[in-house]
Structure 1
C-alpha cells in the first residue's frame, strides 16, 4: 500500500495516509463484519468528534467498537504512541506521526483508513441498518456543500481571521468570509430543525462540530467585537444549543480536552474575544 506520511500539526484535516474502504460483501478485501473493525478516536480532535457523534447516532457500538485516545498526543512528532504499532504494521518503514482518527481491522492488525469522511460514510452504509439515515438518498451533493462551507467558510476563515501572521486587511477579509457563511447558515435554518432533512444527517454533524470549534478554539484569537458579530446569529446558535442537548452530540463534548489540545498545538496570542463565550456548552451538554 502506498502511503503519504502526515505532517505533524499541519492542520486539523491533513492529507490522509490510508484510504481503504469497507465494501459491501466478501468480494472486497475489507467487508462489513460486526466486531471486525475498531475506531481509535480522540474526541478533542474535530474529526474524532465528528466520527464519535455519527457512531453514536448510528448505534454502532457492537458493530465497530471505539478505543478512546488522549486529547493531547503523547509522541514528540504529534502522534499517539498507542497507534504506532498499527502504522508500522500497515506501511513498511512508515516515518510519519501515528495520528488519529484510525479505522483498523482487528483481523489483520492493520489500518483500513485514516480519512474521516470515508470512515463516516462506511459506518453509515456498510453495517446493519439502525439509527437515522445520515446520508439519505439524493442528499450527497447537499451534504458535500455543507462540508465545504464548514471547512472553508467557517473553520479556515475563522483561523485566518485570528492569525497573527496576517495583516489587518487580511484578517478583516477573512472575518468577512466567516460572517457571510454564518449569515447564509442563519437564513437557511430559519424555520428548520435540521440542515437538509426532517431528521439529523451528516450535514448536522459537520456544522455542529464546526460551531464547537468556532466557539471553543478560534474565538480565542479574535477580538471582542468580532466575537460579538459572530454571536449575532441567534437561530444558528440556538440550533447548536439544541443539538448539544442530544445525547449523541453532547456526551462526546470534551471541553477540557479541546482546551488542552488547543494550547498544546497553538502558540498564538490570546485576544479579547477569548473572554466572550458564545454558548455555555457545559450547561447544555447531554450527560
Structure 2
C-alpha cells in the first residue's frame, strides 16, 4: 500500500504502508517567553491567537486563554470550520479577511515567515501582528506557555492549570491521553487496514477504561483542581458522540454510555471556559465536510441530542475545587461568543 495523506486541525499526517495513521508532529517550535529568549517576548497586543472552533487542538488554546483571562492582551482570530488543501480561511469575517491581520488565509502568515513552508498549515497558531508572521503552531507548548510565560498578565483569580509540584504527573497522564485518545481516535478513523484500525480501537477503549477507573475516585485527572490534563481530555470527549463514535468508527460505546466519563465531561462542560467555547455546528461541519475520503457525500448529521449535557453530574460529591483558590472567568467577550444556535442545545 502506498502512503496517503490526511489533514487534521492540529497537524497533517499520512497513512503508512502498514495502514496506520502517522501524525506529522514537526511544528514551529519558536516560543513566546517572558524573557524573549527566542526573539519573541510576551507583550500585550503583540500577538494574535488564531484558532478554529472545530479543531480540538485549537479548542484547548481557546479554553486556556479564557480560564486565565488573557483576552485583553492576546486577541483571537477565528477561522471557519472547513478548509481546503491550501489552508484554513477567515470566511467568518467581513470580506473574508481577518480584521487584525488583514489576510484571507492562515497560509499567508506561515509564508510571510517561511516562504517555502513545506508542512501543513495548522491551528492553533500564534501570529505576530506587526509583521504578519506566524511565530509558532506547537499546540502542546502553546497552552503550557500561556500558563507559565504569560503569568504576569493572568486575570486576578486565574487558576494554576500547570502547578509545578504536579507537572510530572500531568505529563504522564497527558502522554497516555495523547497517544491513545486524542490521537487514538484519528488513528482509528484514518486507518488504512483492518488490523491498524482494530489496534487503535483497542488502545483507545483500554485507555478510556483506565481513565474511568481513575476518575471514579477523584473529580479531576491530577490533583483536586482543573489542570492542563483536564483541558486536553475534554476537547476529545466533546467531539466523541458527534464525530468519533460514527465518523471514526470508535463505536464500542458512546460517551453517554460510559457513566464515569460522561459525568466527568458534564462537570467540565458546565464549567465556565469549557462549554462556552464548544461550537458543535463547527465541529460537525469540519469533520463531515472536510474528510471526503471518509464521508464522500459531505452530508452532516443532525444529532446528537445534547439536552443531557446540562444534566446534574454530582461530581462535586468527590470533593475538589474547579479553580482552586481562584475564581471562574467572566462571560465570553460578545464578539467571541459561540452563536446560540451552534452551541449544544437544551430541551425545549
TM class, shorter-length: 0.7 to 0.9
Q: How does 1:46-65 map to 2 (within 5 A)?
A: 46-65=56-75
Indicate if the aligned counterparts of 1:37 and 1:65 stay in contact, CA closer than 8 A: yes
TM-score by length of 2: 0.69
Deviation at 1:63, TM superposition (A): 1.5
| Mapped partners of 1:223, 1:26: distance in 2 | 44
Name structure 1 gaps, 5 residues minimum.
Answer: 1-6
2:48 to 24, 28, 38: 38
Q: How does 1:103-122 map to 2 (within 5 A)?
A: 103-122=126-145
Change (3 A) 1:96 1:160: closer
2:184 is matched with which residue?
157
1:90 to 81, 99, 113: 113
2:269 is matched with which residue?
244
Deviations 1:206-261 (CA, angstroms, capped at 9, x unpaired)? 11112123222211146796225x65431111010111111200111111111110
Change (3 A) 1:137 1:78: same
Matched, 1:77 2:77: no
Matched, 1:189 2:215: yes
Per the alignment, in what secondary structure is the counterpart of residue 227 of structure 1?
coil
Deviation at 1:34, TM superposition (A): 1.4
What root-mean-square deviation, in Å, do the aligned CA atoms of Structure 1 and Structure 2 show? 3.0
Name structure 2 gaps, 5 residues minimum.
Answer: 13-24, 90-103, 312-342
Indicate if the aligned counterparts of 1:134 and 1:202 stay in contact, CA closer than 8 A: yes
2:11 is matched with which residue?
13
Change (3 A) 1:264 1:174: same
| Mapped partners of 1:275, 1:219: distance in 2 | 14
Deviation at 1:10, TM superposition (A): 5.9
Per the alignment, in what secondary structure is the counterpart of residue 205 of structure 1?
helix
Indicate if the aligned counterparts of 1:38 and 1:66 stay in contact, CA closer than 8 A: yes
Q: Which shifted more, 114-123 or 99-108? A: 99-108
| Mapped partners of 2:130, 2:179: distance in 1 | 38
TM-score by length of 1: 0.83
| Mapped partners of 2:295, 2:105: distance in 1 | 32
| Mapped partners of 2:172, 2:344: distance in 1 | 28
Q: Which has the higher helix share?
A: 1
Matched, 1:261 2:289: no
| Mapped partners of 1:231, 1:242: distance in 2 | 13
| Mapped partners of 1:57, 1:158: distance in 2 | 26
Deviations 1:24-54 (CA, angstroms, capped at 9, x unpaired)? 2256511111111110110101111010011
Matched, 1:147 2:156: no
Indicate if the aligned counterparts of 2:109 and 2:132 stay in contact, CA closer than 8 A: yes
Deviation at 1:70, TM superposition (A): 0.7
| Mapped partners of 2:43, 2:309: distance in 1 | 37
Change (3 A) 1:222 1:278: farther
Change (3 A) 1:150 1:85: same
Matched, 1:233 2:242: no
2:338 is matched with which residue?
none
| Mapped partners of 2:279, 2:63: distance in 1 | 12
